[in-house]
């Protein structure tokens, strides 16, 4: 169902977030993305008709400033897709206390506060369009943990748990689901050895690309009978 109320995608300035924003915009949705740091590409994204809001979710003040801006400018929302993320390993961090705080700030506190603050906007979107959604982008590591990214994995598990809690709180009006990718696309800096090891971790042994994530987002948005669930995009990795 096409919804008139806008869709917010956090961390939508690059990679999967941007691909989702562009795909939904092309479908006719009004799309708002957030980005942390301004880059030249943001100008082109705005010129295409996607609204771009600068927001830093790594601080509580940044989260509250973003909430204030949206509440001032909009009276309804069709969906919130929590895609903003931080990725850092313990071995690269001299202060693991700060690392854990940062991971939980971005992956748990920010979505928690935003979901609560925008309840009224989402309910208004449901009233206008007959549908409203929250989507949490989690991670495959929630299932198995990670010895190299412990704080990251723990915070994504926290976000996965928020999915169940908010699905209960906001039913039956607002659907709340999660999407948990493993490998979707490599970074240009990834070397051949790393790429092959990553491919070997799944049954399908391929790099599916950002469109696999876009299809998952579209499915969740279009489904009328899915809430409190996690859609896994892992190529059968759990069976290897």
Per residue of the chain (240 residues), what is the pLDDT tens digit?
688 999 999 999 999 999 999 999 999 999 999 999 999 999 999 999 999 999 999 999 999 999 999 999 999 999 999 999 998 889 888 899 999 999 999 999 999 999 999 999 999 999 999 999 999 999 999 999 999 999 999 999 999 999 999 999 999 999 999 999 998 999 888 889 989 998 999 999 999 999 999 999 999 999 999 999 999 999 999 898
Domain-embedded: residue 57: yes
Sheet holding 31-35, edge to edge: 51-54, 31-35, 7-9, 79-82, 133-137, 175-181, 230-233
Domain-embedded: residue 16: yes
Supply the pTM of this predicted model.
0.96
Domain-embedded: residue 100: yes
Count of structural domains within the chain: 1
Is 152 among the residues known to form the active site? Answer: yes
Question: Containing domain of residue 219, as a range?
Answer: 7-239
Domain-embedded: residue 178: yes
Q: Which residue reads 């924003």 in tokens?
A: 21
Domain-embedded: residue 62: yes
Domain-embedded: residue 2: no
CA distance 110 to 107: 6
Catalytic residue among 29, 152, 219, 225: 152
- pLDDT value, residue 1: 66
- pLDDT value, residue 111: 98
Domain-embedded: residue 30: yes
Domain-embedded: residue 1: no
Residue 158 sits in a domain of what CATH number? 3.40.50.720
């Amino acid at each position: 169902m096409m919804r008139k109320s806008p869709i917010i995608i956090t961390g939508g300035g690059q990679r999967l977030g941007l691909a989702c924003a562009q795909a939904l915009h092309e479908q006719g949705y009004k799309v708002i993305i957030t980005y942390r740091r301004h880059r030249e590409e943001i100008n082109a994204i705005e010129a295409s008709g996607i609204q771009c809001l600068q927001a830093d979710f790594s601080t509580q003040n940044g989260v509250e400033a973003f909430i204030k801006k949206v509440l001032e400018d909009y009276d309804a929302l069709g969906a919130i897709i929590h895609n903003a993320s931080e990725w850092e390993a313990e071995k690269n961090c001299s202060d693991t206390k700060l690392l854990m705080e940062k991971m939980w700030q971005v992956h748990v506190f920010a979505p928690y506060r935003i979901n609560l603050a925008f309840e009224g906007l989402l309910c208004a979107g449901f009233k206008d369009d007959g549908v409203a959604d929250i989507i949490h982008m989690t991670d495959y590591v929630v299932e198995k943990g990670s010895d190299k990214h412990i704080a990251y994995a723990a915070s994504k598990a926290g976000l996965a748990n928020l999915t169940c809690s908010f699905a209960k709180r906001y039913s039956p009006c607002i659907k709340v689901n999660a999407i948990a990718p493993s490998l979707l696309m490599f970074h240009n800096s990834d070397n051949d050895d790393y790429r092959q090891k990553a491919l070997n971790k799944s049954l399908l042994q391929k790099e599916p690309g950002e469109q696999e994530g876009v299809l998952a987002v579209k499915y969740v948005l279009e489904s009328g009978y899915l809430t409190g669930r996690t859609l896994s995009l892992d190529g059968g990795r759990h069976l290897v």
